[in-house]
Structure 1
Amino acid sequence: MSVRPPTSAAETPPEADQPTVERLKANIGRLSTATLQQLDLSLPWYRGLRPDERSALGMVAQKGISSFVNWYQRPASPAWVLSDVFGTAPTELTRSISLQKALQLIRVVVQVVEDRVPELAGSEVQSKLREAVLRYSREVAFAAADVYARAAETRGAWDTRLEALVVDAILRGESSDALRSRIAAVGWTSTAPVTVMVGGSPAEANATFVNELRRATGRLAEDTLVGIQGERLILVLGGLEDKAFSYTRLSELFGPGPVVYGPPAPSLVEAGPSAQAAFAGLTAARAWPAAPRPVAADDLWPERVMSGDATARTALVESIYTPLLGASNGLAETLSAYLSLGHSLEATARELFVHANTVRYRLRRVCDVTGWDPMLPREAFVLQTALVVGRLAPAGKAAAEKPATRL
């Protein structure tokens, strides 16, 4: 730690007289004792500190007085530089008290020394000693501010690295005690469901952009983690309110290209599958040029299957194919015929020997059972992919061979 030394004669304290220096040296112990007593008397927060914290701060105060004596004796010497004051204390100091409280402590130390100037110097040099005390206190205050600024920069850099580690662990699907401790360290407090959004990062993904991103997400989510991995931007969002609006608003902060959000996860530790689905969707999104921005990873099931995503294949079987087979009224057979006959109600009715209204009813039932509407082209494509995947799946093969019930 270093603080700028005096740069001009106007800023250099006057030459110290030897009698005053001797008195200062002889009274270092008394001044230190008086300072500690005054700290305990005038600063309630000081009295509430733990013994080790009080000891660390008391040491800073005592070193400050001792360093002032050395500086007063040799004002042009670099020995007065305030590394002597703080020593190994900066870390402990910034953890124990705020900068405001540190300045209060400095004010008390200066006041104690200034009040005892008549005891420490003759009348002819008292004004000079007071001026030296004030100049020295100014430099101590600058030094304290520098200590806190450096500590804040170090914490900020460490927090950024720790956040990147947490995001990377989530993307890899880790779920360990180490991940939980890291999550606690980054200050994540939300207990609401978690969503992961991924997309391209802007060309200027600098600190200013990240700060703006945090401000935007702070208005929309309870907690946020930000990760930038090359050309990709990752947002881990906890407790989103008004999801439709939030997704649209946040997508504007991404760079060009698709933006995909994964399904909600119960907690941050369990957000791995949501992140993996979002990244799989981002890879497959180019196969659907008309996809909305942002788009849900689940809306990209067909494209994800074709790109080799086993998770999407399983989801299609479990969410669509298996429920269709388990439903009554031959829903799977009706859907298959409807899709293969060009989405024609009349042709499907003739193929199945039923009335067209019966086909309509069954297609509405397909929508009720699966959540996907075969009357809409995009959703019909999802349903058709589910039929194909389900027929190829070992678990669905036997069920597919059962004759469907015709009405």
Structure 2
Amino acid sequence: MPRAARTADTARSRAAATLRRSAGALSTAATAEMEATLPWYRELSAEERSWVGMILQAGVRGFVDWYGTAGEAGPDGHPRPRLEAPAEGTALAASVFGVAPRALAGVISLQQTVALVRAAFEAVDANVDSLLEPEGAADVRSALARYSREVAFATAEVYARAAEARGAWDARLEALVVDAVLRAEADEAVLGRASALGWTAQERVLVVIGPVPRRRSEADLFEDVRRVARAHEADTLCAVQGDRLVVLLGGVEADSPALGAVGELFGDGPVVSGPTAESLATAHLSARAALAGLRAAPGWPDAPRPVAATDLLPERVLAGDGHARRHLVEEIYLPLAQGRGALVETLAAYLDSGGSLEATGRRLFIHPNTVRYRLRQVADLTGLHPARPREAFTLQIALALGRQSGRPSSQEL
């Protein structure tokens, strides 16, 4: 080995020995630097500050040990001629941060961790001149810049991997919560998992189901849904089941603008929203109606997007949905059959007459104004006006189902 190289290694060995003897003082200086410059450090508890102190000591000791390896014998028995790269990635970060308990990860953020690393190595840099000769100090500063850079990159890599793993776990957990809601199994454990995912809505939950958009990653799609929901102050949970996208919206009503905004993110085809449920625990009722509506939606090709499942009641009945059948009988037919006046008779005559007030009046031997008055009563009781074609279709289906049911009217009691 040339004399200059041997001299450099000897100087480095002396500098490393001096740094080893001063490691404790350097760690103390780093702690004082953090006290003076980092407000978040002063707010930590005594136990948490002791953990940070352990990290500082490990960082300083790791640098000193790494710097000192240049003068030690290598595998061939000769001194190492230059500084080798520090351990890479996770191994390097673990050597510095592995001394702290895992609980500290929930206390210190990535930004704070970088500040911690900077404080430790700035303390070493600030004290180099007082510990070493000028030549040795310059070499230590050069090595320190390299080591601190590697630690910073390694730390960022560890945080990135942790965030990626946490994101994958959250996605699986979210899918399990949505699946449990669809299967009516939203027990306390499921509600707890939803809370862990950021769900805060205690009431007013509805389910929206439609096709998955093509050529979109799930992560990007879900992020867009969450962004739109946040803009309307709504909670959201998402999952893809086969070719369907399922979105749970919390804290919204059926007429909320959030519904239309989220509906634009679905793929081509019908998008159906269920009725508003009282809470996440009962959201399976909304999901059941939305799924039934999605199956029946092709029967109404001109339906809006999204369309409410209650607006698809006739198609759902034709598709064999027993819940829709009962709804039309109990919520539409019976209020008319048990109401005052011959509302069922008037409605049937009006529909059979093609929507003509005069023809209905002649058929029932009443004035057209009386027909008009009774039709307003029908609209008040059911929310459906016979003069509107789509609503007249729903009323006609309800009349047929009510007659088939054999349920008595008030006149028959």
Same fold (TM over 0.5): yes
8 Å contact kept, 1:94–1:151: no
Q: Greater CA deviation, 40-49 or 225-234?
A: 40-49
Partner AA of 2:383 in structure 1: G
1:24 aligns with: 19
Report deviation, 1:223: 2.1
SS in 2 for 1:373: coil
1:399 aligns with: 408
Summarize the Cα distance change of 1:137–1:163 in structure 2 as closer, same or farther, 3 Å threshold.
same
Matched, 1:235 2:247: yes
Out of 325, 328, 338, the position equivalent to 2:337 is 325
Report deviation, 1:402: 4.2
Out of 309, 312, 322, the position equivalent to 2:321 is 309
1:357 aligns with: 369
Out of 118, 122, 136, the position equivalent to 1:107 is 118
Provide Cα deviations, 1:138-171, integer angstroms capped at 9, x if missing partner: 2122122222222221222222222222222222
**CA distance, structure 1, for counterparts of residue 381 and residue 11 of structure 2:** 92
8 Å contact kept, 1:90–1:147: no
1:159 aligns with: 170
**CA distance, structure 1, for counterparts of residue 244 and residue 119 of structure 2:** 52
Q: Greater CA deviation, 350-359 or 324-333?
A: 350-359
Out of 32, 36, 50, the position equivalent to 2:31 is 36
Q: Greater CA deviation, 334-343 or 367-376?
A: 334-343
Partner AA of 2:317 in structure 1: V
2:49 aligns with: 54
Report deviation, 1:342: 4.0
Residue pairs, 1:63-212, within 5 angstroms:
63-74=58-69, 75-76=83-84, 81-87=92-98, 89=100, 91-191=102-202, 193-206=204-217, 207-212=219-224
**CA distance, structure 2, for counterparts of residue 330 and residue 117 of structure 1:** 100
TM normalised by structure 2 equals 0.85
Q: Greater CA deviation, 200-209 or 217-226?
A: 217-226
Summarize the Cα distance change of 1:203–1:105 in structure 2 as closer, same or farther, 3 Å threshold.
same
Partner AA of 1:22 in structure 2: A
Report deviation, 1:31: 2.8
SS in 1 for 2:246: strand
Report deviation, 1:273: 1.1
- Structure 2: tracts of 5 or more residues without a match: 1-7, 70-82
8 Å contact kept, 2:209–2:245: yes
**CA distance, structure 1, for counterparts of residue 333 and residue 148 of structure 2:** 77
**CA distance, structure 2, for counterparts of residue 246 and residue 252 of structure 1:** 10
8 Å contact kept, 2:263–2:305: yes
Provide Cα deviations, 1:95-128, integer angstroms capped at 9, x if missing partner: 2122221122112111221232245433431211
Matched, 1:295 2:304: no
Summarize the Cα distance change of 1:114–1:172 in structure 2 as closer, same or farther, 3 Å threshold.
same
SS in 2 for 1:322: helix
Report deviation, 1:37: 4.2
- Structure 1: tracts of 5 or more residues without a match: 1-12
Partner AA of 1:167 in structure 2: V
**CA distance, structure 1, for counterparts of residue 37 and residue 362 of structure 2:** 95
Provide Cα deviations, 1:215-248, integer angstroms capped at 9, x if missing partner: 3333234222222222111222234489465444
Identity of aligned residues (%): 49
